[in-house]
Amino acid sequence: MRAVIFADGRVTIGDRGDPVPSGGEILVQVAAAGLNGADRLQRRGHYPPPPGTDPDVPGLEMAGTVAAVGPGVRRFRLGDRVMGLLAGGGQAELALIHERVAMPVPDGVGWEAAGGFPETFTTAHDALCTQAGLAPGERLLVHGAAGGVGTAAVQVGGLLGARVSATVRREAARPAVAALGATVLAPGDDWVSAGPFDVILELVGAPNLEGDVRALATGGRIVVIGIGAGATAPVNLGDLMGRRGVIRGSTLRARPLEEKALAARGVETALLPALESGRLSVPVEEVVPLAEAARAYERFEAGGKVGKVVLAVQTAG
């Protein structure tokens, strides 16, 4: 099979042996695969995949058709349309996924949207629901809301009944994020005084943390899932104590199968009906053929996008 391969920081296309599904696994003929921040970090050698995953083939999410099933698979059959979150290896013509983590692609949802859905929406749903316990009527602030996880979080927050605000650095991207249901604040605006917020989803990192604490409501929760702008920040513990606030950090990639399966079932129950009905959407900035993966990474690294950059891998049924 052909696959995206990282070689000394370069993005190339190469050949890998076709994977074979083992117990509980399904082999997917990949139609589309999204690019994510973890892929960029892996390319730079900063975020290696867990053991057992090819360290040179990126890809945390994909969608396609079931091409083969391993022993014990019960839920999916040959030809089923599936998508899912992976530890790596999704940017290839074939990918393995355990059936407990795979999700069906809803009717009417195209491959590009399906390929860009699993990582971003699972991350957003886990952060807001499992980690933060976001409740209807609460105030949510999403920092860095123009990216894949940010656009997902804005929509998930609205679906849960929260009042959503968002910071977006690039002026041209603000109308698109506002259209997803957020009150958009420029980073230069006084977003601290726009609070207090019950939940703050931090996708930018260290520069925001001091302000995040000051912007918390009593009993508020900060969930840090992005540190692209820095990982170390001072925190006024007195402010945090006075607000009875909580700061949590979270990642998905290295979690055990059972935890990923629980996250997938939560998304399947809470979000897939809304995706099928059109209440949720996957903003896609650009779709790039697999053969031009290097250009896809250039577009991803350049920033200035709203939503996802997705690789079109091959035609699937």
The CATH number of whichever domain residue 231 belongs to comes to 3.40.50.720
Q: Are residues 111 and 125 in the same domain?
A: no
Whether the pLDDT of residue 110 is over 90: the answer is yes
Q: Are residues 157 and 46 in the same domain?
A: no
CA atoms within 13 A on the CB side of 95: 35
| Assigned domain for 221 exists | yes
Pick the closest to residue 78 from 66, 94, 63 (CA basis).
66
Domain boundary (221, 249, 277) is at 249
Provide, rounded to the nearest whole percent, the portion of the chain with pLDDT above 90: 83
Residue count of the chain: 317
Whether the pLDDT of residue 150 is over 90: the answer is yes
| Assigned domain for 140 exists | yes
Q: Are residues 109 and 17 in the same domain?
A: yes
| Assigned domain for 165 exists | yes
Query: Looking at the 3D structure of the chain, how many domains does it have?
Result: 2
d(CA 192, CA 285): 30
Q: Are residues 61 and 32 in the same domain?
A: yes
Q: Are residues 16 and 98 in the same domain?
A: yes
| Assigned domain for 76 exists | yes
Q: What pLDDT, in 10s, does the model give residues 206-256?
A: 999 999 999 999 999 999 999 888 899 999 999 999 999 999 999 888 899
| Assigned domain for 166 exists | yes
Whether the pLDDT of residue 317 is over 60: the answer is no
pLDDT of the residue at 301 = 87
Whether the pLDDT of residue 120 is over 60: the answer is yes
Cβ pair 101, 264 in contact under 8 A: yes
Cβ pair 266, 126 in contact under 8 A: yes
Cβ pair 250, 228 in contact under 8 A: no
Domain residues for the domain of 101 are: 2-117+254-312
pLDDT of the residue at 188 = 66
pTM across the whole model: 0.94
Whether the pLDDT of residue 304 is over 70: the answer is yes
Q: Are residues 243 and 258 in the same domain?
A: no
Domain boundary (231, 249, 267) is at 249
d(CA 241, CA 223): 16
Q: Are residues 95 and 24 in the same domain?
A: yes
**pLDDT averaged over every residue in the chain:** 94
pLDDT of the residue at 183 = 95
Q: Are residues 219 and 262 in the same domain?
A: no
d(CA 206, CA 111): 35
| Crossing angle between the packed helical segments 118-125 and 148-159, to the nearest 10 degrees | 50
pLDDT of the residue at 228 = 84
Pick the closest to residue 198 from 150, 237, 157, 152 (CA basis).
157
pLDDT of the residue at 53 = 85
| Assigned domain for 177 exists | yes
What would the mean pLDDT of 261-276 be, rounded to a whole number? 97
| Assigned domain for 317 exists | no
Q: What pLDDT, in 10s, does the model give residues 272-292?
A: 999 999 999 999 999 999 999
DSSP secondary structure letter of residue 109: -
Q: Are residues 125 and 237 in the same domain?
A: yes
Phi/psi region, residue 222 (left: phi>0; alpha: psi -120 to 50; beta: rest), is: beta
d(CA 44, CA 39): 9
Report strand pairing: 197-202 vs 183-185: unpaired
Q: Are residues 240 and 258 in the same domain?
A: no
Domain boundary (217, 234, 249) is at 249
| Assigned domain for 63 exists | yes
Q: Are residues 285 and 173 in the same domain?
A: no
d(CA 256, CA 57): 20
Q: What pLDDT, in 10s, does the model give residues 156-169?
A: 999 999 999 999 98
pLDDT of the residue at 187 = 63
What would the mean pLDDT of 158-187 be, rounded to a whole number? 93
Dihedral sign of CA atoms 284, 111, 17, 53 in order: positive
Q: Are residues 218 and 269 in the same domain?
A: no
The CATH number of whichever domain residue 49 belongs to comes to 3.90.180.10
pLDDT of the residue at 315 = 62
pLDDT bucket at 316, cuts 50 / 70 / 90: low
Contacting residues for 239 by C-beta, under 8 A, at least 6 apart? 213, 214, 245
d(CA 289, CA 312): 5
Dihedral sign of CA atoms 125, 127, 128, 134 in order: positive
d(CA 43, CA 53): 15
